[in-house]
Amino acid sequence: MRGAANAEDCEARNLAVKRFEDEGDEVLLRFLLQLVQALKFEPYHDSALARFLLCRSLKSKRLGHFLFWHLRSEIAISEHHRARFAVLLEAYLHGCGREMCAELKKQCQVVDNLQLVGNKMQSLLCEQRDIPCDGNSRLQDELRKITLPSNFRMPYDPCVRAGKLKLEKSKVMPSKKKPLWLEFENADPTAARPVKMIFKNGDDLRQDMIILQMFNIMDDLWDAASLDLSLFPYGCLSTGSNMGIIEVVDQATTIASIQKERGAILSALRSGTIKDWLDECCPLPEENIAARMRFLSSLAGYSVATYVLGICDRHNDNIMITENGNVFHIDFGHILGNVKKFMGINRDQHFVLTPDFLNIMGVGVERKTTEYFRKFESLCTDAYRELQKHGGLFVSLFSMMLLAGLPEVTEVDLSYLCESLQPTREGEPEHILEIIKHCKNNNWKVQINFLFHNLVGVGVKPQASTSTSDQQKTSS
């Protein structure tokens, strides 16, 4: 009987893998994070899933690139499954070819050297909350001691090639773990913009990776339903135990930076700061209207996404906006309803609808509904309905991450996701409209939260909006 049960189990696993055989590389890339985690559930190192992933990764350099980094990260993190991932990584490197090995070796050289520099800066500045005047020069001195390749692919996106490091642009960011802001020349002669990234040492980025993956999947589902919600998932990759790389989005700035530049700390209480900034970025009537539409569509997309995924600790240092009006969120340390409280008070709301944001949609102090705001409500309703149709997919994907050991991805936490997407609410737009109404009427609480963060960061000099500001300001 035991042999028959094992045979049935093996057959079921083989059938599950066969379901993926006809899928393209882009589909596999979307779910690669979970497929690597699923290897932990296999009874043996040699499995249909392991063979499938190796075979497809050896045929696709892009797929192989990310399989390499996911395996390398798990080897450093997963104590109980380290041997399995090491065997698979060795098998991949034996078959991927010399050119691919050489490229991956250069990326590892970059990561390992930056980890050394990150450790050094943490030891030098660990007792200081703000960065001292000589902090950046000390970082640049440490960077001169290491050797980085002059041409390598970025781990978070192999399509991006970085060149020589711009030492004078390197800086330590004002956060507890002292992440490094680094800028490289672009090795692509047709690309004008430099390559910018943040190297984090001391933070587990896998939770951020999951949320950004969910944003990508949501964007795919909305696109298929002809909904353009303008999500902006940036590159983020865990490269080892508590370290990783985050892409810097160009021509974007945090809401906090705009507020501080235009009225110091109390600007968080003004209702026209962001609109004035956006009007200056897009002065022509046609581009200004397009920026407003992009603003409300992206605000709707992220409002629904953050509600469904229970993303908390939303404040003006982790909400950003591009110069053409695209809102996007960063820093996902609290998810699935794990609320961050201050003195026992919940600082979070489901939707971040500040007077600043409402002002851009034409909703003033009299709170009259405008055409822009009605469009925002309609987009939120349609977006939520579409996600409800695929609620089982999101629950399944998070369930497959349970063995990752993330503190806010547990069986208990999954109950939030089941609640936020419960199918009994399908076809009931009043649910989302009530949330919008509540957040709109209580947005003064968000203003106070924003003011609190401005006060906390009073010693930190804000970046200019044209320099991408503190994207991923990496608030601890």
Task: Report the pLDDT averaged over residues 80-92.
Answer: 97
**Length, in residues, of the chain:** 476
Q: Is the dihedral of CA 7, 8, 9, 15 positive or negative?
A: positive
What the block records as the tokens of 30 is 């979307």
What global pTM score does this model have? 0.90
Q: Is the dihedral of CA 450, 452, 455, 461 positive or negative?
A: negative
Distance of CA 194 to the CA centre of its chain: 21
- Domain 2-96 is found in CATH 3.40.1550.10: no
What phi-psi label fits residue 442: left (phi over 0), alpha (psi between -120 and 50 degrees) or beta? alpha
- Assign domain 250-467 to its CATH architecture: Orthogonal Bundle (1.10)
What the block records as the tokens of 247 is 């892409």
% of the chain beyond a pLDDT of 70: 86
Q: What is the rounded distance in angstroms from the CA atom of residue 266 to the CA atom of residue 160?
A: 40
Over residues 200-217, the pLDDT tens digits come to 999 999 999 999 999 999
Q: Which helix (H) or strand (E) holds 138?
A: helix 135-144
Q: What is the rounded distance in angstroms from the CA atom of residue 234 to the CA atom of residue 196?
A: 12
- If you search the block for the tokens 């983020």, which residue do you land on? 236
Cα–Cα–Cα angle for 161, 166, 167, nearest 5°? 140
Give the model's pLDDT for residue 13.
87
Q: Which residues contact 444 (CB under 8 A, 6 or more apart)?
A: none
Give the model's pLDDT for residue 339.
82
Q: What is the rounded distance in angstroms from the CA atom of residue 282 to the CA atom of residue 287?
A: 6
Give the model's pLDDT for residue 4.
53
Candidate from 149-153, 209-213, 428-432 with smallest mean pLDDT:
428-432
SS3 content of the chain, % helix, strand, coil (to 5): 55, 10, 35
Cα–Cα–Cα angle for 221, 245, 58, nearest 5°? 70
Q: What is the DSSP string of 178-238?
A: --EEEEEEES-TT--SPEEEEEEESS-THHHHHHHHHHHHHHHHHHHTT------PPPEEE
User: Does the pLDDT of residue 188 top 60, yes or no?
Assistant: yes
Give the model's pLDDT for residue 423.
63
Other CB atoms within 10 Å distance of the CB of residue 10: 14
Q: Which residue ranges make up each domain of the chain? A: 2-96, 99-202, 250-467
Distance of CA 356 to the CA centre of its chain: 24
Asked whether 299 and 325 are in contact (CB, 8 A), the reply is no
- 159-192 as b/e, with b when 16 or more CB fall inside 10 Å? ebbbbebeeeebbbbbbebbbbbbbbbbbeeeee
Q: Which residues contact 43 (CB under 8 A, 6 or more apart)?
A: 9
Give the model's pLDDT for residue 458.
43
Give the model's pLDDT for residue 229.
95
What the block records as the tokens of 460 is 């930190």
- Domain 99-202 is found in CATH 3.40.50.300: no
Candidate from 189-198, 266-275, 387-396, 403-412 with smallest mean pLDDT:
266-275
Using CA atoms, how far residue 414 sits from 288, 324, 339, 383, 402, in Å, is 41, 36, 14, 21, 10
Q: Closest by alpha carbon to 95, among 133, 152, 56?
A: 56
Using CA atoms, how far residue 466 sits from 59, 88, 290, in Å, is 41, 44, 20
Over residues 153-178, the pLDDT tens digits come to 999 999 999 999 999 999 999 888 89
What the block records as the tokens of 26 is 């882009």
What the block records as the tokens of 299 is 């605000």
Over residues 294-332, the pLDDT tens digits come to 999 999 999 999 999 999 988 888 999 999 999 999 999
User: Does the pLDDT of residue 268 top 70, yes or no?
Assistant: no
What the block records as the tokens of 297 is 């569509």
- If you search the block for the tokens 């090639």, which residue do you land on? 161
Distance of CA 168 to the CA centre of its chain: 27
At residue 467 the predicted structure's pLDDT band, cuts being 50, 70 and 90, is very low
Over residues 276-294, the pLDDT tens digits come to 999 999 999 999 999 999 9
Q: Pick the more confident residue, 475 or 185.
A: 185
Greatest Cα pair distance, the chain, in angstroms, is 75
Instruction: Report the relative pairing of strands 171-172 and 236-240 from DSSP bridges.
Output: unpaired
Give the model's pLDDT for residue 406.
93
What the block records as the tokens of 234 is 């940036």
